């Protein structure tokens, strides 16, 4: 018995008896062998390709990841190729996937694998977790799936599955709850094919032990599930409490010149870090356009005149309600650097395609080009944005 004292309210890690270990592990593994989805990263044993899938899958759905994973791998086939690529190319390959820090960490980690490990991934979770962007989950996933180390993983799926199987109480983020889940996952990872078993836990959570409407009648470990026995499946785990999204208004300078527009690279930290945008300043909902133009002028070190406005673009992020106001301006002198941005660049639409850019900014750019701001007829269909209108119409484009 451990001498460590616990408070009365602390969750005690449920024991995993040898019987229970076997009763869960075997059925889950054979269920996985029969029911696993044919995902492209399950057809490779290349640690680099597996790592890439794990990073892309962070907070992102499988169906979204598949085309990105294939394209990215074709563009950067090896960790060395990724390490030696310019950051702009990497961010461009990540364009539209979100959580862009992942891409910058991916790039840095690739460089460290080359420099510190001679281009070969270290095979243990303990070493992997020292690399940028590797947390406990990703280190365990790569170690177990690519190298067969019996390392545990706990992601959202595993947390849900184990919460139900072992009736683990507590809200997501609760210290004792997390410790309990990792302790359970550590015990269960021990045995044959730890990588497949870890994936079995996730696959089961993703397809059967789902958050809503779990398919308990198809569950291979239903008999051993405490939550099922007690009729508590629907209440475990408790849903996260999420803060309401805050409003964020940005005024963008749409500044055409000789077939180009002015683009700026945002700071590495914060929203859309390191990505390119039409130069933006944060404003309030009430900020008059004239004042927004004034602030863009001083930010860019130029004297700008408002020529007209285009439709605003709205985007819902998890924690932000984003409104992009497009202000078409003219003026001078034309800057090539600014203290407010990492970098400024005058780009044709074609050149801008190669820049890392958020989906919000891509929508704004599509709207700008759709209005023929650069002259001529609306240029070659601005990336037929899946039929949906690029932005809601709040007012007609004006000025000339």
**Residues belonging to the active site:** 54
Q: State in angstroms the smallest separation of the CB of 145 from DNA.
A: 9
Give yes or no for residue 64 binding DNA (CB under 7 A): yes
Give yes or no for residue 229 binding DNA (CB under 7 A): no
Among 188, 293, 360, 390, binds DNA (CB under 7 A): 360
Asked whether the beta carbons of 165 and 227 are under 8 A apart, the reply is: yes
Among 75, 136, 193, 222, binds DNA (CB under 7 A): 136
Give yes or no for residue 54 binding DNA (CB under 7 A): yes
- 246-254/320-332 β-pairing: parallel
Among 320, 334, 338, 347, binds DNA (CB under 7 A): 320
Tokens 């990792």, residue located: 182
Which residues from 375-394 bind DNA, rule CB under 7 A? 386
**Site track 269-298 with DNA (rule: CB under 7 A), x = hit:** -xxxx-------------------------
Nearest one of 23, 176, 221 to 168, comparing CA atoms: 176
Among 18, 118, 173, 384, binds DNA (CB under 7 A): 173
Among 21, 193, 315, 334, binds DNA (CB under 7 A): 315
Q: State in angstroms the smallest separation of the CB of 49 from DNA.
A: 12
Q: For DNA, which is the closer residue by CB, 60 or 124?
A: 60
Q: For DNA, which is the closer residue by CB, 134 or 255?
A: 134
Give yes or no for residue 175 binding DNA (CB under 7 A): yes
Give yes or no for residue 72 binding DNA (CB under 7 A): no
Among 6, 84, 115, 211, binds DNA (CB under 7 A): 211
How far apart are alpha carbons 169 and 10 in whole angstroms?
A: 10
Give yes or no for residue 78 binding DNA (CB under 7 A): no
Give yes or no for residue 137 binding DNA (CB under 7 A): yes
- The one segment of 182-190, 214-222, 239-247, 292-300 that binds DNA by CB under 7 A: 239-247
Give yes or no for residue 99 binding DNA (CB under 7 A): yes
Give yes or no for residue 59 binding DNA (CB under 7 A): yes
Give yes or no for residue 53 binding DNA (CB under 7 A): yes
Give yes or no for residue 260 binding DNA (CB under 7 A): no
Chain contacts with DNA (rule: CB under 7 A): 39, 53-54, 57-64, 96-101, 105, 132-139, 141, 155-157, 160, 173, 175, 199, 202-203, 205-206, 210-212, 239-240, 242-243, 270-273, 315-320, 358-360, 386
């Amino acid at each position: 018995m451990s001498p460590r004292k616990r408070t009365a309210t602390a969750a005690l890690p449920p024991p995993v008896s040898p019987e229970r270990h076997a009763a869960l592990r075997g059925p889950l593994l054979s269920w996985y062998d029969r029911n696993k989805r044919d995902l492209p990263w399950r057809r490779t044993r290349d640690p680099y390709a597996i790592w890439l899938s794990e990073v892309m899958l962070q907070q992102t759905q499988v169906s979204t990841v598949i085309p990105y994973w294939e394209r990215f791998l074709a563009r950067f086939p090896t960790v060395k190729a990724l390490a030696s690529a310019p950051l702009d190319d990497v961010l461009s390959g990540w364009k539209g996937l979100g959580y862009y820090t992942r891409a910058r960490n991916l790039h840095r980690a690739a460089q460290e694998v080359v420099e510190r490990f001679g281009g070969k991934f270290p095979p243990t979770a303990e070493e992997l977790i020292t690399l940028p962007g590797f947390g406990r989950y990703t280190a365990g996933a790569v170690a177990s799936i690519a190298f067969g180390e019996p390392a545990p993983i706990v992601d959202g799926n595993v947390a849900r599955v184990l919460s139900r199987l072992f009736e683990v109480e507590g809200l997501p983020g609760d210290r004792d709850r997390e410790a309990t889940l990792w302790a359970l996952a550590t015990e269960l990872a021990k045995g044959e094919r730890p990588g497949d078993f870890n994936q079995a836990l996730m696959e089961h959570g993703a397809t059967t032990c789902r958050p809503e409407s779990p398919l308990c009648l198809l569950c291979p470990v239903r008999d051993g599930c405490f939550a099922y026995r007690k009729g508590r499946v629907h209440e475990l785990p408790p849903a996260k409490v999420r803060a309401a999204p805050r409003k964020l208004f940005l005024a963008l300078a749409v500044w055409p010149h000789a077939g180009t527009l002015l683009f700026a690279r945002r700071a590495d930290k914060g929203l859309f870090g390191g990505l390119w945008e039409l130069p933006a300043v944060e404003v309030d909902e009430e900020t008059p356009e004239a004042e927004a133009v004034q602030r863009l002028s001083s930010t860019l070190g130029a004297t700008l005149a408002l020529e007209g406005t285009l439709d605003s673009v709205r985007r819902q992020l998890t924690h932000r309600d984003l409104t992009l106001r497009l202000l078409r301006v003219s003026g001078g002198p034309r800057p090539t650097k600014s203290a407010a941005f990492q970098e400024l660049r005058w780009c044709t639409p074609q050149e801008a395609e190669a820049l890392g850019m958020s989906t919000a900014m891509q929508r704004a750019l599509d709207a700008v080009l759709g209005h023929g701001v650069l002259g001529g007829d609306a240029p070659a269909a601005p990336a037929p944005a899946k039929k949906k209108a690029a932005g809601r119409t709040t007012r007609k484009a004006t000025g000339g």
